Amino acid sequence: MDAGKFWIVSFIVSLIFLVLTRWLITNEYFFFAGYQVLQFIVLATAWNILGGYTGYTNFGTGAFFAVGAYSAVVLHKLTTLPVPVMMLTGGVMSGVIGFGMGYLTLRLRGVFFAIATLALAIVAQTLIVNWDYVGGSRGIYIIRPQHAPISGSYIQYLYSLMLALTWISVAIARTIERSTLGLGFNAIRDDEQAAEAGGVPTLRLKLIATTLSGALMGMSGAPLPYYVTYLDPASSFNLSYAVNSVAMPMIGGMTNWIGPIIGAVLLGTIQQLATVTISSALNLLIVGVLLIGFVVIAPNGIVGLVQTRWRARIR
């Protein structure tokens, strides 16, 4: 299937999914939980553009995500712009940060980029904690508009937006995967020196990957203030975003666009169930243990497991 067809088909699939869920399901909790799972699909897919395709680990998902959320807070206080515009702005902000981080650290070994992103989360949090306009460490209350711009409740509106973003990011990831850009990314992942010698403009490609990945994370963070209605640094910069967005592609499989989706749906659903039935601290433990277990036992994730079985059967 070529890229254009995939965009159309995935759009139709998303649209049918949207119509079906909104038509058949009346329980508000479904949309509340569904929003989270979709948000994790976006985060995992965005992470995978840099991590899975290009081979650079980003531990700063929380920072990019929260920058998107706090951009929306600033816009909310200054203007009455609709949420999709806030998502775009959040995306631009996080994209710029991704570009800056990449520009400063990507000329060195990949490890330094990983460490710098880990520290970025802490510094961005420090800045927000000290910034009283957006609530500082106390956090800030956001009052949702009374009516959603489309029919249905506000949560259903946010759910629909997140579904649209999911469609866009998955289609972008799939397009990159099958394009020369994706080939360049893979060349960098497999052997950066060889890629450089072979004429791949490595620094430029890496910057494209970090910017795009950061921008998508920022976009997925922008509706957060309206979703939770109370935003504070400790929860929006939570390390669990980073752990989840690393764990989901690793568990699903990093070489393929479907891997992050599998991982996000699986882990996202398990976490929703565990949060409701057991406790939220324990569900984070589950994610961590699954992450360690998968990287040790099945480094290519579920997709990798299926592929090996597939090949064995063909022989």
Binding residues vs another protein (CB under 8 A): 51, 55, 57, 59, 104-105, 108, 110-112, 114-116, 118-120, 122-123, 125-127, 129-130, 137, 239, 242-243, 246-247, 250, 254, 281-282, 284-285, 287-289, 291-292, 295-297, 299
- Nearest approach, Cβ of 16 to another protein (angstroms)? 35
Q: Phi-psi bin for 279: left (phi > 0), alpha (psi -120 to 50), beta?
A: beta
The nearer residue to another protein, 46 or 142, going by C-beta atoms, is: 46
The nearer residue to another protein, 168 or 291, going by C-beta atoms, is: 291
Sign, CA torsion 165/171/175/178: positive
- Three state DSSP letters for 174-206: HHHHCCHHHHHHHHHHHCHHHHHHCCCCHHHHH
Residue 161 near residue 149 (C-beta atoms within 8 A): no
Where does residue 225 rank: exposed (0-12), middle (13-18), buried (19+ CB within 10 A)?
A: buried
The nearer residue to another protein, 44 or 254, going by C-beta atoms, is: 254
Give the rounded distance of the alpha carbon of 134 from its chain centre. 23
Strand-pair category, 140-141 with 230-231: antiparallel
CA–CA dist 15, 264 (Å, integer): 20
Residue 173 near residue 109 (C-beta atoms within 8 A): no
- Nearest approach, Cβ of 290 to another protein (angstroms)? 9
The nearer residue to another protein, 69 or 291, going by C-beta atoms, is: 291
The nearer residue to another protein, 10 or 117, going by C-beta atoms, is: 117
- Nearest approach, Cβ of 241 to another protein (angstroms)? 11
- Nearest approach, Cβ of 106 to another protein (angstroms)? 10
Which pair of tokens denotes residue 244?
A: 């989840």
The nearer residue to another protein, 254 or 261, going by C-beta atoms, is: 254
- Nearest approach, Cβ of 307 to another protein (angstroms)? 17
- Nearest approach, Cβ of 294 to another protein (angstroms)? 9
CA–CA dist 182, 180 (Å, integer): 5
Residue spans of alpha helices (H) in the chain: 3-24, 28-48, 61-78, 83-105, 110-129, 154-177, 180-190, 192-197, 202-221, 224-228, 233-236, 239-252, 258-277, 280-297, 301-314
The nearer residue to another protein, 118 or 270, going by C-beta atoms, is: 118
Which pair of tokens denotes residue 55?
A: 């081979």
Distances (CA, A) of 195 to 185, 186, 202: 9, 9, 7
The nearer residue to another protein, 137 or 229, going by C-beta atoms, is: 137
- Nearest approach, Cβ of 299 to another protein (angstroms)? 5
- Nearest approach, Cβ of 61 to another protein (angstroms)? 11
